[in-house]
Amino acid sequence: AQSVTQLDSQVPVFEEAPVELRCNYSSSVSVYLFWYVQYPNQGLQLLLKYLSGSTLVESINGFEAEFNKSQTSFHLRKPSVHISDTAEYFCAVSEQGSNYQLIWGAGTKLIIKP
């Protein structure tokens, strides 16, 4: 991928409200897509990924993301956020044939307001 854009550096949202974190990429070839999460003072961990098949992928803690090829997007959504979702979320893309190198977005800090 040439680049990965996460448009929002911070997203404040009230607890139990829905949230969408946006991720767009630029690439002319097929891609693999990832969302990673970094909780305060921790390393990153995989939240969900799209490699092939269904364009809607889900995580075990209620997040989902949909691969939209025409829009070159992979937005992350959750219908109802919890205080424990406070973290920074990173979108990453790997182009097929790129030696699996990941290109990372700048990250979006999800701030949950009580």
Partner 1 sequence: KAGVTQTPRYLIKTRGQQVTLSCSPISGHRSVSWYQQTPGQGLQFLFEYFSETQRNKGNFPGRFSGRQFSNSRSEMNVSTLELGDSALYLCASSKADGIETQYFGPGTRLLVL
Nearer to partner 1, 16 or 69 (CB): 69
Residues linked to residue 74 through DSSP beta bridges, in sequence order = 67
Q: Residue 48 or residue 81: which is nearer to partner 1 going by CB?
A: 48
Applying CB under 8 A, which of residues 35, 78, 107, 112 lies at the interface with partner 1? 107
Phi, psi of 6 (to 5 degrees): -110, 110
Q: Look at phi and psi of residue 14 and say left if phi exceeds 0, alpha if psi is from -120 to 50, else beta.
A: beta
Q: How far apart are CA 1 and CA 103, in angstroms?
A: 7
Q: Both ends of the chain: CA-CA distance in Å? A: 37
90 binds partner 1 (CB under 8 A): yes
Site string for partner 1, 20-59 (x = CB under 8 A): ------------x-x-x-----xxxxx--x-x--------
C-beta of 13 vs 44, nearer to partner 1? 44
Largest Cα separation within the chain, whole Å, is: 45
Count of residues of this chain found to bind partner 1 when the rule CB under 8 A is applied: 21
Instruction: Name the site residues for partner 1 (rule: CB under 8 A).
Output: 32, 34, 36, 42-46, 49, 51, 90, 94, 99-107
